[in-house]
Structure 1
Amino acid sequence: MDDQLQPVIRQLIKKHHTNCPFEIAASLGIHIRFADLGQTTKGLYFRKLRRRFIVIHNQLPPPWQRFVCAHELGHDRLHKGISRFFLEEHSYFSPGKLERQANRFAIALLTANLAPGPGESLHEFYLRAGIPQEMLYFFRL
């Protein structure tokens, strides 16, 4: 796990007794919505009138919904006051610093209570943890 993220992730899991991004977001008072966000947007995080929202593309498969929720939760925890979009193809190949941090946060959160099994590759471990395969090639912890 990324040294910078370790204390944040550990504190969240300890406080909320889970590493499920949906449960943590709900516990933090972040409203989760599902909507058709078009072809390239998987999710977004924003604040409006002191309320926080994570919107997830409603046509994503469950592993992607979980990853996007964790990613957007990363924006909430790491980038206070900044609304960021998680864009599909563009963010895979040249993600900005904030997007890379949110992706690393998501991977660290979703793998926090797991350890690779004997002989299990990092690729197999991430897939078992529910990390979408597309993310494996670009973000290694």
Structure 2
Amino acid sequence: MWLKTFIEKQIKKYNTSCPFKLANYLNIQVIEYDLHEEIRGYYKYDRRNKYIVINSNLTDEWKRIVCAHELGHALLHPRLNTPFMRKNTLFLIDKIEREANLFAAHLLIPDENLFNFSEQTTIYDIATLHNVPIELVELKYKGLF
């Protein structure tokens, strides 16, 4: 899958899978701002400058998830200004949002853990281990559970 290979190259090149560090290395400004409670974040492109805006009221775990999702937009759809990532964005079927969610899933859930689980391991266990929503685990491992 091209997306998985692309993400692996980024992780290897910058020696991190942290979305905040990757954004910094890629000269993408990450800004926290007090947004409406239903808005988690968004990506903005303006005159060759890239910005990720994250709701400052989110938990650290959700800030990481939103940053990974918006980083997906910045790298996969660099000249598009994306609409706000709302609380229900993980359930959207829009192609651009699905690609950003899949980017976040591959970035935040490493492959090496896939085969270290027992047969009793559930998607809930994997989501808890990586502090990600179940929807991202389902996207990453579609067809395995």
TM-score bracket, normalised by the shorter chain, equals 0.7 to 0.9
Alignment gaps of 5+ in structure 1: none
Give me the whole-angstrom Cα distance separating, in 1, the residues matched to 2:136 and 2:77.
23
| Candidates 77, 80, 93, aligned match of 2:78 | 80
Q: Which amino acid aligns with 1:103?
A: N
Q: Which amino acid aligns with 2:86?
A: L
Give me the whole-angstrom Cα distance separating, in 2, the residues matched to 1:114 and 1:42.
29
TM-score by length of 1: 0.87
Q: How many residues align?
A: 137
- Map 1:121-140 onto structure 2 (within 5 A): 121-133=122-134, 135-136=135-136, 139-140=139-140
TM-score by length of 2: 0.85
Give me the whole-angstrom Cα distance separating, in 2, the residues matched to 1:27 and 1:113.
23
Matched, 1:6 2:4: yes
Report the equivalent of 1:60.
58
| Candidates 19, 23, 26, aligned match of 2:24 | 26
3-state DSSP of counterpart to 1:71: helix
Larger RCO, structure (CA 8 Å, separation 6 or more) = 1
- Residues 137, 13 of structure 1: alpha-carbon distance in 2 compared, 3 angstrom cutoff: closer
Q: CA deviation at 1:114?
A: 4.3
Give me the whole-angstrom Cα distance separating, in 2, the residues matched to 1:29 and 1:9.
17
What RMSD in Å do the two structures reach over aligned CA positions? 1.9
Alignment gaps of 5+ in structure 2: none
3-state DSSP of counterpart to 2:113: coil
3-state DSSP of counterpart to 1:5: helix
| Candidates 108, 125, 129, aligned match of 2:106 | 108
Q: CA deviation at 1:41?
A: 1.0
- Residues 110, 56 of structure 1: alpha-carbon distance in 2 compared, 3 angstrom cutoff: same
Give me the whole-angstrom Cα distance separating, in 1, the residues matched to 2:16 and 2:140.
23
Q: CA deviation at 1:14?
A: 1.0
